[in-house]
Structures are given as structure tokens and as C-alpha cells.
Structure 1
């Protein structure tokens, strides 16, 4: 069974350019309107910053045999039942013949405040996945193979995200791999462990500087958590579902 990777490197660079470009356009629009949010909120409250990556995934799904599947990204159609809460909004759902094929979250973080945002993203990622898998176990999606559950994160590549960070725990020792780890390294560890604990089929993180608005440059932090792994695993999952259809 062959898979089509749809020249994803080029599409990813275009998505990175769009990410930074959309942020700047939103910031300029708010400045012109006189309704400027504080700090970095000026460039994120308009949303749509990760739309290029969503479009990439949609192209991948269609290229690997599920062009006829229902691919949902509109807010009214991306709700799934939960177990610990009634429902959860996802960023993208793929449904074929009544089966949940894929549920994917697209996240991003830019500076300068990496600390609190990292903790919030971590708690959200763990809770979202655990809630879905318990709902799956309890039959919320019917009798079906396990869906692909993905988490894709883009983090600003900046001195603040690469500098060592001290962790303090007064009563018990922090795991040694976290000591002195930068926020980018922490995201890499997070993604590795989200997969090792089978919370996500693939969890990936890429780093990109603001200057990438010009060339779409980005960097993978490890083969396990890289974009290539995300794309190849998703393409294989989609192709397998297409073969069953």
C-alpha cells in the first residue's frame, strides 16, 4: 500500500509563511481600527493562524483515498462527545461512513511568555486526549477501529524558547531530563511522552522564527516528534481506512 506525501515540505513552508503573515495582518488591522489588544494578543485573537497546516492535512486526506470522506473544520461540526465533560471542540475531524477516522488539534505558541502558556498547553493536551480515549472505550463512537488522534504544535524559535529553564520542586525531585531544559526541549519531551503513553497517535512540534514570514523556515526537534512523522503516520492511517472502505 503506497502513500502520497503530497510534497508536504513545500506546503509546510507555505503554512509557516501564512502563520506569521496572518499574525502581522491581524496586528496591523487592530492598530488601524484603534482596538489594539495588549501584547501578543493583538496578533492571535483573530484566529486562523494555523489554517495553512489544516489545509495541508486536508490535502493529505484527499490524496490518500478519502476524497469522499466528510472533513470538518467549521465550529458547528467539530464537536465530539467526551466522558468527563459532555463535549469537546476539535480543530479538524475526518469521518467516513459514520466512523471517526481522525481528530486533530493544531496549536501554536509565541513569546515572550513561554512559561505559563507551556503549562496550559500541556494540561490541555493531556486532558483532551484522555477524555477522548475514555469516551472511545465507553462506546461513544460505536464499534470501530481506533481513530488517528493528532496534536501539532508550532512554537516560536527565539532566544527565550531556547534558553535553559530552572525547575524547582521543594519536596520531591523533578525528573532529570526537565532540569535545565528549554521550553522547546520541554515541548519535545511532552510530545514524546504523549505518544509513549498512547494519548496521541502522533504528537509533533516544530520551531520557527518570526523571520520565517519571508521563507517559511522551520525546524524539527527530533525524528520522533517531527512533522515528517506526523505526515507519514497520518497518510498511512488514511490509506488503511480507504482500503477498508
Structure 2
């Protein structure tokens, strides 16, 4: 089966540029208004920083057989039922002929790595566990498992690449986490999210602030690289397109 990856590398570079430019614009707007959030929040409260990646996912879906599917990006259309809570808001939903084809979550982390890594981890695990339990209980009707994706962009900086020490007074941390940087920890998280079948694919992208001009980004491992993610999405979409007609 030939998959169309829609020149994803070029589009990902443009998405990285847009991410940093939109953050800078949001920070500038807040400074001009005199209402400035603390830390890095000024760059995220305006939202839409990851829209370039959403557009890439939409292109993948349309190019691999589901151009006529309902591809939802508007907030009012992005909720799915949960099991432990009534609903969960996603970043992108693909619905075709009454079936949930794909649900994708996009996250980013700029600065404050120590404060937010555990929060991001708990969110990712909890979101997936809630969705699959709801699926098991028939919340989406009788249908095959949907594609569930999690994509994370992390600032490529000294703070995200430096070794981190942990204190566990009663039992040692797992060996792979000992001295691991936050980028390495996110990489391990993504690998384990897929290995434990919590997500169909999980990707990690590292991009420095200078990427606002270059669009440059790095991947930490092939298992969590963007090509693996978009290939998995394209393959799933193509199979469902062939099945549903």
C-alpha cells in the first residue's frame, strides 16, 4: 500500500517556524497590553501555536483516502465521551460514516521543564486510559480501534538536554531514568505510551528558539520520530478508507 506523506518534513519545518513566531507575537501583544503572564505562559495563553502541525495531520488524512471525512478542528466539535469523566477535549478528530477514525492530542513544553514534565506525563496517561476504557464500554459504538496520537514539541535548550538528578528515598528509580535529560525522559515516555498500547503513535520533536527563522527541529529516536508518527496515521487512514469505501 503506497502511503502519501505529503512532504511532511517541509511542512513540519514550517509548523516549527509558526510555533515560535506565534509565541513571540503573543508575548509581544501581552507586553503592549500591560497584562503579562508569568514565565512562559505569555507565549501560550493565546493558543493556536501548534496549528501548523494540525494542518499537517489534516493533509495526511485527506491524502490517504479520507478527503471527505469530517475532520474537526473547531473547539465546539472536539469533545469525545470519557469513562472517568463526561467528556475530553481533543485537538483533532476524524469521523467518517459515524466511526471515530482518529483522535490526536498536541502538546508543547518551553522552559520550566522540571515543573511540567510530570504534569504532561500524567495528562497523557490519563487521557489515553480514559478513552480506551470508554471504548471498551461501547461509548463509540461497534467499531475498530481508532488511531490515537500524541505529539509533543519541546524546546531544544540546555535545560532540556542536561542530565537531571532524582531523589527516591525508598526505592531506586528505573535505570533508564537515572541521569536522563528531560528530552530523553519525553522520548522514553513516548516509547512506553506506544509499547503499552495507550497510543497508536507518539512523537517527540525538539526545536530551539532560533527555529523561528530556520524551521530546524531534531528527533530523539526513530521510534518517536515524526516519520514514524505520520506513517502510522497515513496507514491507519488508508486501511479505514479501504474498509469503509
- Structure 1 segments of 4+ aligned residues over 4 angstroms from their partners: none
Pairwise CA RMSD:
0.6
Structure 2: gaps (5+ residues): none
**d(CA) in 1 for partners of 2:129 and 2:37?**
33
How far does residue 168 in structure 1 lie from its aligned partner after superposition? Answer: 1.2
How far does residue 41 in structure 1 lie from its aligned partner after superposition? Answer: 1.0
Structure 1: gaps (5+ residues): none
Structure 2 counterpart of 1:92: 92
Question: Does 2:209 align with 1:210?
Answer: yes
**d(CA) in 2 for partners of 1:34 and 1:235?**
45
How far does residue 20 in structure 1 lie from its aligned partner after superposition? Answer: 0.2
What is the CA deviation profile of residues 100-133 of structure 1, one whole-angstrom value per residue up to 9, with x for unaligned ones?
Answer: 000000000001x101210000000000000000
What is the CA deviation profile of residues 59-103 of structure 1, one whole-angstrom value per residue up to 9, with x for unaligned ones?
Answer: 110011101000011111110000111110011100000000000
**d(CA) in 1 for partners of 2:92 and 2:3?**
21
**d(CA) in 1 for partners of 2:89 and 2:7?**
29
Structure 2 counterpart of 1:71: 71
**d(CA) in 2 for partners of 1:25 and 1:38?**
16
**d(CA) in 1 for partners of 2:195 and 2:36?**
42
Q: How many residues align?
A: 244
- TM superposition score normalised by structure 1: 0.99
Matches within 5 A, 1:1-245: 1-111=1-111, 113-245=112-244
What is the CA deviation profile of residues 144-176 of structure 1, one whole-angstrom value per residue up to 9, with x for unaligned ones?
Answer: 010000000000000000000011111111101
Local SS of the residue matching 1:219: coil
How far does residue 31 in structure 1 lie from its aligned partner after superposition? Answer: 1.1
Local SS of the residue matching 2:222: coil
